[in-house]
Amino acid sequence: MEHPLTKCTRMFFLLGMVMIELQSYGSLGCWEDERAGLIKLKDALFDDPIGSSVLSSRGGGEERDCCKWEGVVCDNATKRVSGLSLSYASEFRNLWSPEASLFAPFQELQNLSLASDSLTELTNLTNLEMLHLGGNVLMEIPSSIWDLTSLKALSLSGNGLNGLLPLRGFCKLVNLQELDLSDNGFEGNLPSCLMNFTSLRLLELSNNKFEGAIPSNLFPVLKSLEFVSLSHNLFEGTFSFSSLANNSKLEVFELVCDNNGLKVDTENPPWTPLFQLKVFRLSNCKLNDKSRVLPSFLLNQFELRTIDLSHNSISGMIPMWLVANNTRLEFLELANNSLTDPLTLDLNSTHLGMYWIDISSNHIQGELPSLISSAFPNLKYLNLSSNSFQGSIPPSLGDLKVLDLSNNNFSGQLPFTDYASLMYLKLSNNCLQGQPLPSKSNVTNLFALFLDSNSFSGEIPRGIMNRPIPSGFCKSKELNFLDLSENNLSGGVPSCLKNLSSLRFLHLQRNEFRGPLPNSPSLVSASSLVTFDVRDNKLQGKIPGWINSFSNLRVLLLGANSFEGPIPPQLCDLGNIRIIDLSHNELSGPIPSCLHGIKLGDRKSFDDPFRAEMEGSSVFDPSRYYSYENQLGVDQPGTLGIIIETDLKEEVQFITKSRLETYKGNILQFMSGIDLSLNKLTGPVPHEIGYLSDIHALNLSHNHLIGQIPESFSNLSQIESLDLSRNSLSGQIPPKLVELNYLSVFTVAYNNLSGRTPDRKAQFATFDEHSYEGNSLLCGVPLERRCTTNEEMSPPPHPSHAVQDDTFKVAFLSTFWPTYAVAFVGIIVILYFCPYHEFLISV
């Protein structure tokens, strides 16, 4: 049967076939030369081309169509490769310098995002519009970049680049809309040719070493600017903020100074902004340094999400109108200014977005409005520390995660509140009273609780064992820091602490706790504890032997109590201990010689034990509060550097160099010391103490110790402070102590020492007579008593002592003195028998 179709319809049909064919070719893909080019590029790019997913198909039978490969973007119409995204291409990246020819196949490349360790050339990419070379280690800018005059967006951020910008090339890129040079070391003045970059929308120059003035004629010509960040440079002079007045598109302005003397004037000449900012950060610059006023242009801002005016010495009333005006405000940072007056909340609307308020270190007075949690229902961080707030703490805290009200004048009892969402609560240094946390309070998520330096009083309910409901703080399984120090708490050390399985830093010092430490090791979940500080209480009884179950303990502070009996040898089992204070107790018996078994100096551990990271603090992920669209993916403005200090650092006090020093965080890792002073310890000083070669401070003063100062003390090579005063030590001061090069405080006063004082060499040249006074038989400078000939030639240490010294010392002593004597006699003999000229010749 003949086909009924006419010639015309057949042609029409054919055309359709061709179109279908063409269409399928189109979807099949990319141009063969470009596909081959991509394979070549991938081979050059990666050590292990097969291992990396970049520049390969994502499966689903798309091997042919390179337009669908990862990292490749093609033009819809021409199917030519228009974008290549090869940054951060994974650990398979080669250390490479791409040949320019590798990019030759991609005639229409517009976007190129590249990870490269150096770059030889990028020629012939005449269509390139975006070049992203951020986060590499370029070290040098390939000059061919400056010929890419079609570029609209360029990022060289974070490349270790420094020196002056090569202006001859740079100034050609006048079509740039986005320029990101942040996180390098670029120097010199801002290039004046920036004035020719009239299309610029984004200017990110933070974290460089640009210097000189910020020119006031720059911004009026850059009318398209939306984003400006100039933070952390070396700018000087006075920047007139009003020069931005007509930048009607400006949304983000960031300038954080580093005390370089840059002054910022926002008031003169009078002006009205055409912009509505979303992010305004102007911190630590000399802002309006004469008038100290808040920038008045803020009266006309209603779109702000982020305000950071911290560290500016601004005076005047706290600008709550700014909060009222900007209903979408999320982040308010006004710390370290001189703002006054009470915090009022006459807001017409709730601020649903507000999650961070920091007005710490100002002069705010009055009460904390109880409405705060309804005005800001989603507030997560509130820092009002170091102001003059008074009155009571409002009963409702909403969903706060972090509350810092320390260093104010809050009074009254802690309200019964739901603390369930709180992770960090700091109320230190106020006038709060009553129970530290009401028994009924829910503190499930509490990680750090600082209630020190208040007037909390009474006994802490002991806990489940003894029926009463345990105090609130005994209920958080997450609690790492607990500081109840400097209050008026009484009764026994709370036994409910054993419920705290995560507790690491326990401070109960300076209270009225009494009685013995519990006689079982379950005081706290023993193995987690790093600091145990009960100094300055009225604790009694023996130091329990179970102390060795604190296997992680670094700091043990039992000083200024009434502990009695011997120092338990179990103390020597504390393999991680660094600081021991048993001073000012009634301890008796000998110093255990096993003490040398504690290492004191082992800081091999990679993790800093004196820090804790608050888990779950990612709720503060700042990236959510403002999103700015830009091609270069520039970081969220205003977020950098404003991250809550999730690194909480332990702080400990210890007397060294005759002063009470505070050691915080990391420093603690480098401190080690033992203070046994002001006890009733007897017997000799064990020579094994000399093996504590990492010890920095040793205080054995005010005891009843006898015998000699061990020679082995000359091995305490790190020691800075050594106090042996007010004992009954006798014999000579070992002359080799002068080898202790870090010693800056040394005293052996009020003992029965005899013989010559150590040579006035090295550190010993700095010690005056107070180091030695009260030893009637000591002689030599700096004492007034001169040594007699007998004392000059004072005998080596008593043989009976040398016997109990370690073998090294015995060997040393038995060889040193004879050798010295032989050499000395030998020289005399030579001088005596040789004629002068022969002696010279022989020398």
Least distance (Å) between residue 158 CB and ligand NAG: 19
Q: Kindly tell me which of 61 and 270 has the beta carbon lying closer to ligand NAG.
A: 270
Q: Kindly tell me which of 286 and 578 has the beta carbon lying closer to ligand NAG.
A: 286
- Residue 787 Ramachandran class (φ > 0 left, ψ -120 to 50 alpha, else beta): beta
The two three-digit tokens of residue 170, written as one number: 């740079």
Residues facing residue 705 across a β-bridge: 683
* Sites of contact with ligand NAG (CB under 6 A): 73, 76, 82-83, 100-101, 104, 110-111, 123-124, 130, 171, 192-193, 195-196, 220, 242-243, 245-246, 284, 299, 302, 311-313, 321, 324-325, 335-336, 346, 348, 360-361, 383, 385-386, 388, 390, 402, 404, 409, 411, 420, 424, 442, 444, 455, 457-458, 488, 490, 631, 644-645
Least distance (Å) between residue 431 CB and ligand NAG: 6
Q: Kindly tell me which of 196 and 570 has the beta carbon lying closer to ligand NAG.
A: 196
- Nearby residues of 504 by Cβ (< 8 Å), 6 or more positions away: 480, 481, 528, 529, 530, 531, 552, 612, 650
Are the CB atoms for 500 and 529 separated by under 8 Å? no
Q: How far is Cα 526 from Cα 548, in angstroms, rounded to an integer?
A: 9
Q: Kindly tell me which of 383 and 429 has the beta carbon lying closer to ligand NAG.
A: 383
- DSSP summary character for residue 296: G
Q: Kindly tell me which of 409 and 501 has the beta carbon lying closer to ligand NAG.
A: 409
Helix, strand, or coil (residue 490): strand
Q: Kindly tell me which of 100 and 783 has the beta carbon lying closer to ligand NAG.
A: 100
Least distance (Å) between residue 492 CB and ligand NAG: 14
Least distance (Å) between residue 428 CB and ligand NAG: 11
Q: Kindly tell me which of 230 and 716 has the beta carbon lying closer to ligand NAG.
A: 230
Least distance (Å) between residue 547 CB and ligand NAG: 28
Q: Kindly tell me which of 4 and 60 has the beta carbon lying closer to ligand NAG.
A: 60
Are the CB atoms for 608 and 578 separated by under 8 Å? no
Q: Kindly tell me which of 280 and 550 has the beta carbon lying closer to ligand NAG.
A: 280
DSSP letters spanning 593-644:
GGGGGS-S-----SS-TTEEE-TTGGGG-GGGG-----TT-PPPTTTTT---
Residues facing residue 191 across a β-bridge: none
Least distance (Å) between residue 287 CB and ligand NAG: 8
Least distance (Å) between residue 366 CB and ligand NAG: 11
Q: Kindly tell me which of 421 and 562 has the beta carbon lying closer to ligand NAG.
A: 421
Residues facing residue 681 across a β-bridge: 589
Instruction: Give the C-alpha distances (Å, rounded to integers) separating 529 from 479, 481, 600, 618.
Output: 11, 10, 17, 25
Least distance (Å) between residue 384 CB and ligand NAG: 8
Least distance (Å) between residue 203 CB and ligand NAG: 16
Least distance (Å) between residue 420 CB and ligand NAG: 3
Least distance (Å) between residue 161 CB and ligand NAG: 21
Asked if the peptide bond before residue 215 counts as cis, ω within 30 degrees of 0, the response is: no
Q: How far is Cα 698 from Cα 279, in angstroms, rounded to an integer?
A: 54
Q: Is the dihedral of CA 195, 197, 201, 203 positive or negative?
A: negative
Q: Kindly tell me which of 138 and 222 has the beta carbon lying closer to ligand NAG.
A: 222
Asked if the peptide bond before residue 269 counts as cis, ω within 30 degrees of 0, the response is: yes
Question: What are the φ and ψ backbone dihedral angles of 140, each rounded to 5 degrees?
Answer: -145, 145
42-63 burial: b if 16+ Cβ within 10 Å, else e: beebbeebeebebbbbeeeebe
Are the CB atoms for 262 and 239 separated by under 8 Å? yes
